[in-house]
Structure 1
Amino acid sequence: MVVLWCAFLVVHLVTAAAGWVYPSQPMGDVVLVYEPWASSALGGGAIVGVTETWVYPQLALVPMLLAKGLAVPLVPLLGASGAYLVAWAVLVTALDAVAFGVLIGRAPSRPRRVAAWFWCGAILLLGPIAMYRIDAVTLPLAVVGGLWLASRPVVAAALLTAGAWIKIWPGALLLAAIVAVRARFRMLLAAAAVTAGVIVVLLLLGADTELFGFLTGQTGRGLQIEAVAATPFLWLAVSGAARIEYSFEILTFQIVAPAADAVTAVLTPLMALAAVAVTAIGAVKAVRGASFPRLFPPLALSLVAVLIVTNKVGSPQFQTWLIAPVVLWIAFDGIRARVPALLVLTLCALTCLVYPLSYDALLRAELLPVLVLTLRNVLLLVLLAVGIRALVRVPAHHPSKTRE
């Protein structure tokens, strides 16, 4: 227990500190984007998601405001930017600590200890991007929500829904839970209640056409260079047949090539179809009596992997999404989680090598970072295949198959 908590603290300290020394500004979003959004909302200016369309669901502003409050006493010592960065790291560490405590409890089983070590290793390998993005706030919510699905399904559904109103991906875990947990009707009511509450508050604050701007605002995105579907175009960029350009509207680097727009147009429908197909497989397994510990982890991981593999955005922080379902898989069904866990740890390490460590070279379409990113994207496809294979092999709950 003491060793685990010491590892947790060391990992968070090292990862937070690495953000100050790594190249390519891995903390840039926090001070260049999150802090101005929070300052504007608190200072009587524009409120993202309320008075203007925003790329994130509206609850994402809450942790940004909390960090702003935590930063106030640190400003005289560190300045506005430094104080906000430290406050953000403290906030993420505190949220992770709560979830870590729920995971290991007072006398953790061996699978939960292994899950805790995996979590620490994944954060360390992924680097500063694991802490200095809004996705880091949703990870502990997803872990706690997943751990409580069997014992507190209503609270778990509420947490996962709140997480989805910060960054959409925890909705994949909620969908997997509704398929795999018998208390699905109560969970649906809890999710609906949280969503209705958020919408009512937003309408009272003055949100109107901006209410679902985080969905409609994604339609104008191009193909981001780190997306899985962008991999062939990166190799074209190496040879000079495609270009990498910065989008000031979306604040990201995108592929410019003759066929890129066509590929981009296909990805969102493909994501929907793939998610429906994976959910259908899980639903069939649930109807046939598959147990929750066997069904939920591969279904959750497969749905999250679908969101990443078919996404026209390939931001490095997306790898954070994979940590939660694997933590839960190890905790619920440790033996079968070994391959997914090793894949996710490898994905975290490769992602850090790309961003921030060799990102400048990637923007120049140099061979080595393109090769590393290609390997990362291929492994994402492998992970999706592993998750679906495990899902297909989930047995029905029959006495003759209890040993499987």
Structure 2
Amino acid sequence: MSARRHGLRLLLLWVAFAAVHALIAVMGWIYPSQPMGDVVLVYEPWSTAALTGGPIVGVTETWVYPQLALLPMLATKILSAPFVAAFGVSAAYLVAWAVLVTALDVVAFAFLLGRRPAAPRRIAAWFWVGALLLLGPIAMYRIDAITVPVAIIGGLWLSRRPAVAAALLAIGAWIKIWPGALLVAALVAARARMRMLLTTVAVTAVIVAVLLLLGADAEIFGFLTEQTGRGLQIEAVAATPFLWLATAGAARIEYSFDILTFQIAAPGADAVAAVLTPLMAVIALVLTVVGARKAMRGASVPRLFPPLALSLVVTLIVLNKVGSPQFQSWLIVPALLWLVMDRARATAPAVLVLALCALTCLVYPLNYDALLRAEALPIVILTVRNAVLVVLLAVGIRALLRVPATDTSTNRE
């Protein structure tokens, strides 16, 4: 490939990347159901309280998120200050949030492409652009958007800088739990697992020590205990049958003011919600054991890490009591890393992730009001979306089971 042609391809990628970020930022303002609502209605008040002597979530009171999630919220509040006079508090905070997310994505995109990216990295870059476009503003206006670029860089550095990769994934997990699934997969698949484990422990120890110095104690792991009392959210995979019951009046959709979300109220819904988290833990453990056995027998990192990471992340979604639309952004990372590491086997998972992004946007925000009224069309779309999630989990597990493993003891003989 000539240098000029290569440069044009890179330029086109960067232009598309910038254009999609600008587009989804604007979509947040014009789409129905206020997809950027969490940023101004929740993140901004939390950060204002912390900076003005009020309660500090995760430190002085129990919080639904890990404590490092507050840092990008505080950074956004500081970045928005010069624009408040011109735009007002809410608009300035939204603009600053979009700028912060875009800046982090630019850093990760630069790590992905480098100066002369090979074909797998260019394909992965186009996949990321497409996924953002299809998922829409929910890919930007949630705290999950902060963790995606952090996790991408961590995954890309898994082989070259394993300790840095572990540190980034651990930090990501202290912002939103899901990067912990990638960290588990990395600890299983990577050769430098002991170095990565020690780095993870060190990062966690430093974070906990700082929190203790700030006055937190029982609040430190409040993000785990806060989830125990949650009901079955309407978009969760397990809520699908109850949504169909709601169309016949046999179930209700109710708003929980405690956790600010819509949940199912129906006989059996609480029992289903109660069993999901233990089942999630069991399946995640089984997948980890399967991956560990493959690693012990000599499976390579490019073959083992992607399907294990994807399977663990999808498990966190399929067996979750919560089905928030931004969860689909988690899937972008393992699918992208699979395209980089093992493109030949990544096509089907990547296509399924793109389909999930599109279907999710059709549900939220485009048809969310109709979903709350238990109308048939959004329930059909959501049913298909949730079925595709189950298919993606099956595809990931199948790929994990098919990872070739060489018995290292045989090689030594």
**What secondary structure does 1:269 align onto?**
helix
1:338 partner amino acid: T
Which of 11, 14, 24 does residue 2 from structure 1 map onto?
11
Matched, 1:23 2:32: yes
Q: Deviations over 1:185-225 (max 9, x none)?
A: 00001000110000000000110111100000101100000
Which of 120, 128, 131 does residue 129 from structure 2 map onto?
120
Matched, 1:96 2:105: yes
Which of 290, 296, 299 does residue 290 from structure 1 map onto?
299
Does the 8 Å contact 1:67/1:88 carry over to 2? yes
Which of 177, 182, 192 does residue 186 from structure 2 map onto?
177
2:399 partner amino acid: A
Aligned match of 1:56? 65
Matched, 1:161 2:161: no
Matched, 1:105 2:95: no
Aligned match of 1:227? 236
**What secondary structure does 1:356 align onto?**
coil
1-side partners of 2:349 and 2:285: how far apart? 22
Aligned match of 2:269? 260
Q: How far did residue 397 of structure 1 move? A: 4.0
Q: Deviations over 1:286-334 (max 9, x none)?
A: 1111100000000000000000000000000000100000010000011
Which of 234, 239, 247 does residue 238 from structure 1 map onto?
247
Q: How far did residue 396 of structure 1 move? A: 1.6
Which of 273, 280, 289 does residue 282 from structure 2 map onto?
273
Matched, 1:87 2:104: no
**What secondary structure does 1:45 align onto?**
coil
Does the 8 Å contact 1:67/1:87 carry over to 2? yes
Which of 123, 129, 134 does residue 138 from structure 2 map onto?
129
2:204 partner amino acid: T
Aligned match of 1:218? 227
1:123 partner amino acid: L
2:99 partner amino acid: V
Aligned match of 2:4? none
Q: How far did residue 27 of structure 1 move? A: 0.3
Q: How far did residue 398 of structure 1 move? A: 7.5
Aligned match of 1:402? none
**What secondary structure does 2:342 align onto?**
helix
**What secondary structure does 1:175 align onto?**
helix
1-side partners of 2:193 and 2:296: how far apart? 13
Matched, 1:364 2:369: no
* TM-score normalised by structure 1 residue count: 0.98
**What secondary structure does 1:253 align onto?**
strand
2-side partners of 1:40 and 1:228: how far apart? 35
Q: How far did residue 76 of structure 1 move? A: 1.4
1-side partners of 2:131 and 2:384: how far apart? 18
**What secondary structure does 1:63 align onto?**
helix
Matched, 1:189 2:193: no
Aligned match of 2:52? 43
**What secondary structure does 2:227 align onto?**
helix
**Runs (4+) off by over 2 Å:** none
Aligned match of 2:74? 65
Which of 325, 330, 353 does residue 321 from structure 1 map onto?
330
Q: Deviations over 1:267-291 (max 9, x none)?
A: 0100000100111111111111110
Does the 8 Å contact 1:291/1:397 carry over to 2? no
Does the 8 Å contact 2:297/2:407 carry over to 1? no
* TM-score normalised by structure 2 residue count: 0.96
Q: How far did residue 18 of structure 1 move? A: 0.4
1:232 partner amino acid: P
Aligned match of 2:320? 311
1-side partners of 2:353 and 2:36: how far apart? 22
**What secondary structure does 1:244 align onto?**
strand
1-side partners of 2:32 and 2:74: how far apart? 27
1-side partners of 2:176 and 2:407: how far apart? 38
RMSD after superposition = 0.8
Aligned match of 2:155? 146
2:309 partner amino acid: A
